């Protein structure tokens, strides 16, 4: 299964989950003793994990003062979308030069899978996870075709920004999803025709609009976005944490 062999790796993964899912709240102090006990490990691997997460930007750190869950402003989130739009647009431009028979087929298969999942006039809840999976695969496939490892690396790290992740998709408005998938159609077609610039333009707008839509949704349904189901909802006992929050009063 999971190739997480060491406590450190497990701790990194669990804490990432906990932070992205909101179990650990932004700004929250990460007490080493408590966290270590909570995860059932000692402070050594925990500290290592925290350092790693600090490097990847999910937690902040001050010497001799400890670790805190990093707080992201809306500007951070918006910036993440902006950069993601540029990076993935670049990926499209590059991918257009690297298309192969197989790559083309792969993209169209993903698009068709999306068609199936959206074939009714709504997205049934049981199709939500598969659709998200398809979406991730589609974007990842293009970045792989771009044959530039940095694009993937950076886009992945942008997915660690709470609201900028692929795991957050606005499921309220079916038309938006349909239109978004329409973009996928056009991108795949453009790429297969070697129209890199066109694919890039569509991709840029595809992601830019996602931000705009997120913004709208946030104003309309504020505070409804931190409890996001994870892609891999295996049981985690790291959850039993934020009970005793109020006794700070």
Site residues (CB under 7 A) for DNA? Answer: 5-8, 29-33, 41-45, 47-48, 61, 63-67
- Cβ distance to DNA smaller for residue 42 or 153: 42
187 binds, among DNA, a second copy, none (CB under 5 to 8 A by kind): none
149 binds, among a second copy, DNA, none (CB under 5 to 8 A by kind): a second copy
User: Taking Cα atoms as reference points, which of 180, 194, 201, 209 lies closest to residue 111?
Assistant: 180
Distance in Å, CB of 135 to DNA, minimum: 33
104 binds, among a second copy, DNA, none (CB under 5 to 8 A by kind): none
- Cβ distance to a second copy smaller for residue 6 or 230: 6
Query: Which positions touch a second copy (CB under 8 A)?
Result: 3, 5-6, 8-9, 44, 47-48, 51-52, 54-57, 63-64, 75-76, 79-80, 82-83, 86-87, 90, 94, 147-151, 153-154, 158
What distance lies between CA 38 and its chain's CA centroid? 26
Distance in Å, CB of 41 to DNA, minimum: 4
Asked if residues 183 and 140 have their Cβ atoms less than 8 Å apart, the reply is: no
Asked if residues 236 and 125 have their Cβ atoms less than 8 Å apart, the reply is: no
Angstrom distance (rounded) from CA 136 to CA 115: 15
43 binds, among DNA, a second copy, none (CB under 5 to 8 A by kind): DNA
- Cβ distance to DNA smaller for residue 40 or 149: 40
Distance in Å, CB of 119 to a second copy, minimum: 37
Angstrom distance (rounded) from CA 72 to CA 159: 13
- Cβ distance to DNA smaller for residue 66 or 79: 66
Task: Encode burial over 93-130: b for 16+ CB neighbours within 10 A, e otherwise.
Answer: bbbbeebeeebbebbeebbebbeebbeeeebeeebeee
- Cβ distance to DNA smaller for residue 167 or 241: 241
Angstrom distance (rounded) from CA 17 to CA 19: 5
- Cβ distance to DNA smaller for residue 43 or 245: 43
141 binds, among DNA, a second copy, none (CB under 5 to 8 A by kind): none
Distance in Å, CB of 195 to a second copy, minimum: 19
Angstrom distance (rounded) from CA 100 to CA 218: 40
Angstrom distance (rounded) from CA 182 to CA 178: 6
Distance in Å, CB of 44 to DNA, minimum: 3
């Amino acid at each position: 299964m999971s190739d997480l062999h060491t406590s450190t790796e497990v701790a990194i993964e669990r804490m990432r989950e906990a932070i992205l899912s909101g179990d650990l709240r932004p700004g929250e102090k990460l007490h080493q003793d408590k966290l270590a006990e909570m995860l059932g490990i000692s402070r050594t691997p925990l500290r290592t994990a925290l350092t790693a997460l600090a490097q990847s930007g999910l937690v902040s750190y001050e010497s001799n003062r400890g670790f805190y869950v990093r707080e992201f402003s809306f500007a951070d989130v918006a910036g993440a979308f902006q950069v993601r739009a540029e990076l993935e647009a670049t990926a499209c431009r590059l991918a257009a030069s690297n298309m192969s028979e197989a790559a083309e087929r792969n993209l169209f298969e993903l698009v068709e899978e999306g068609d199936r999942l959206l074939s009714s006039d709504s997205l049934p809840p049981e199709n939500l996870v598969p659709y998200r999976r398809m979406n991730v695969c589609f974007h990842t496939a293009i970045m792989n075709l771009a044959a530039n490892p940095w694009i993937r690396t950076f886009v992945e790290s942008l997915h660690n920004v709470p609201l900028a992740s692929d795991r957050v998709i606005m499921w309220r408005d079916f038309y938006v999803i349909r239109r978004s998938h329409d973009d996928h159609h056009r991108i795949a077609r453009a790429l297969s025709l070697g129209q890199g610039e066109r694919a890039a333009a569509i991709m840029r707008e595809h992601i830019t609009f996602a931000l705009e839509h997120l913004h709208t949704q946030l104003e309309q349904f504020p505070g409804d976005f931190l409890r996001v189901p994870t892609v891999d909802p295996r049981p985690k006992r790291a959850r039993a944490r934020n009970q005793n929050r109020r006794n700070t009063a």
